[in-house]
Homo-oligomer: A and B are copies of this chain.
Amino acid sequence: MAIRVAVDAMGGDHAPNEIVEGAVRALKSSEGRIHIQLCGPKKIIQSILDTYGPLSGIEILHAPQVIGMGDSPVAAVRSKRKSSIHVGLTHHKESYSDAFISAGNTGAIGAASLFVLGRLAGVFRPSIPTLFPTTDGLCTILDVGSNMDSRPEHLLQFAKMGSAYARIIMDIAQPRIGLLSVGEEPAKGNELVRSTHELLVNALELNFIGNIEGRDIFHKKADVVVCDGFVGNVILKLAESLMTALPEMIHQELQELKPDNATLDLIKTMLSGLARRFDPEHNGGGSPLLGVEGEVLIMHGSATAGAVEQCIILAAQIAKANLTSEIQRALVP
């Protein structure tokens, strides 16, 4: 049976057109393995869908209300029960969908997920991981922004949830967990990291390899990098900006070298391959909200059709592998 992915057609800077476009692409590339449920005002979505001609495997879940970037997340969750986010999550809750994805207001998606789906038993705080480029494929970093001012027990849970996520998504039996610090020695780092180190050493079910440093991330010393959401968000955005900074720096280097046109073309191709590595669109398209009672994935507000397509495929993979049950097992062994 096809995996049913509910898609918030109204969330994000390029909604609804790019979202629908991405959904149609995912539908086609999945060849019947994914069933799409577009959440949004029926008339609007239908008129866009009509431009693609007849399609099977895609339906509309009518949601007349829209949560804007200006809306207070918590207030919107309570007052806008007919929003695309609410309708999608409710369908997931009632098992009419296997996963829900959105490029809308992250705060609103998080609040609505907790409100509609609830928190997994024992979870202190849900966490958002990201897939990050290295010289040897992707690694997972978490948290990347949902948690400021974390406590050691939060980071321990991030490690457990990240390990479960990496097992599924990277297909590794025992992902190597690294704690991000400023030196390998357990005594190095800030108070949070020093206390977390101790907790991780005692979490015998984890493949904890110790502290890692900023320099180890790109060289994939760990499969899962654990840090608080402030640090994770800073390095994620720093790395993403390489997508635009590197071409500019390389262009500057080439000023004096004056390559001919054929060489320039080759370098451009090389550069776009390099930039793609740092483009979130090519690293899963979105990230799961770990720790809620369901499979919810959050995309960048700027998500384009390519990111939406990738995120739908990732959502289907996560739903099929039953990530939430895996996380529940990891947290309460």
Binding site for B on A (CB under 8 A): 133-135, 145, 148-149, 180-182, 189-191, 193, 213-219, 227-231, 233-242, 244-246, 248-250, 252-254, 257, 259, 262-263, 266-267, 269-270, 273-274, 277
Given A182-B234, A235-B238, A270 contacting B245 (CB threshold 8 A): no
Q: Contact: B245 with A274, CB < 8 Å?
A: no
Check A145 against B182 for contact (C-beta < 8 Å): yes
- State the number of copies, please: 2
Q: How far is the CB of A159 from chain B (nearest CB, A)?
A: 17
Give the contacting residue for A135; candidates B180, B249, B254, B269; CB below 8 A: B249
Q: Decide if A148 touches B190 in the complex (CB within 8 Å).
A: yes
- Chain B minimum-CB-distance residue to A254: B270
Do B253 and A234 touch across chains, with their CB atoms under 8 A apart?
no
Beyond the given A135-B248, A234-B234, A259-B263, could you list 8 further A-B residue pairs with CB under 8 A, ordered by the A residue number? A182-B229, A182-B233, A182-B234, A214-B240, A215-B241, A218-B242, A231-B234, A249-B274
- Check A216 against B235 for contact (C-beta < 8 Å): no
Decide yes or no: A253 and B236 within 8 Å by CB, A182-B148, A219-B241, A241-B219 being known contacts. no
What CA separation (Å) do A218 and B182 show in the bound complex?
Answer: 21
Contacts of A259 in B (CB 8 A): 263, 266
A252 partner residues in chain B, CB cutoff 8 A: 135
Supposing A135-B245, A241-B219 touch, asked if A190 and B234 sit within 8 A by C-beta, the answer is: no
- CB atoms of A253 and B230 under 8 A apart: no
In the assembled complex, the Cα of A252 lies from the Cα of B273 at a distance in Å of 10
